[in-house]
Amino acid sequence: MKYTIFCLLFCLSSFMFSQDIAVLKYGGGGDWYSNPTALKNLISFCNTNIKTNMNSKPQTVEVGSIDIFQFPYLHMTGHGNVFFTESDAENLRSYLLSGGFLHIDDNYGMEPFIKKELVKVFPDKELIELPFDHPIFNVEYQFKNGLPKIHEHDGKKPQAYGIFHEDRLLLLFTFESDLGDGWEDAEVHNDPEEVRLKALQMGANIIKYAFEN
């Protein structure tokens, strides 16, 4: 109980001053380190275009560490297995309920693993698909048809799911879109410039929404 109260107070004081973001490192053997150039490019785009003031180098934090409370936005990605211990789940739940925001971007193959682990974090909540008129799709750039399609993968439509608490979106799961690939250096995936721009603009929407809500 004392640990939880401390985390809450630490989180609130940190969020008041922080505008930095971090990559979430998790257990289970999945490649949490995928897309190594993605966040630095998103940060640069946001600092230039939506006037954020983020550190140019994103940090890496472990899901079970109190360090996650220093960041208003956490980014999580990968292709494979994800595993949260009970203490990981408790720490992440406290972070999210205290005002933090987690964006999970499926880099292809992550979905069945992360959905199972999210039950540990919020056993009483479900992922809900976001409607196209949700503010996250228009807070800065307009996406009238919702999440943009960046990579084909299985050819399914891109979907954005969320977990809410008291009407606040505190977790976003982007699926069949692969925004992070679109944020990477141009030569990594050779995506057309207009596709990369859509990915970065949607990323800027997510950052702005996370910082302001």
Using a pLDDT cut of 70, give the percent of the chain over it: 91
pLDDT in tens, 26-49: 999 889 999 999 999 999 999 999
pLDDT in tens, 3-29: 444 455 545 445 544 689 999 999 998
Q: How many whole angstroms separate alpha carbon 68 and alpha carbon 70? A: 5
Q: How many whole angstroms separate alpha carbon 96 and alpha carbon 94? A: 6
pLDDT in tens, 202-213: 999 999 999 999
pLDDT in tens, 181-198: 999 998 988 889 999 999
Please report the pLDDT score of residue 18 as a whole number.
62
Please report the pLDDT score of residue 154 as a whole number.
72
Structural domains for the chain: 2-212 (3.40.50.12140)
Closest CA to 210 of 100, 113, 89, 106: 100
C-alpha pair distances (Å), 75 with each of 84, 100, 172? 16, 11, 10
Could you tell me the pTM of the whole model?
A: 0.91
pLDDT in tens, 141-192: 999 999 999 977 677 899 999 999 999 999 999 999 999 999 999 898 888 9
Query: Which positions ≥6 away from 103 have C-beta within 8 Å?
Result: 73, 74, 75, 76, 171, 172, 174, 206, 210
pLDDT in tens, 121-143: 999 999 999 999 999 999 999 99
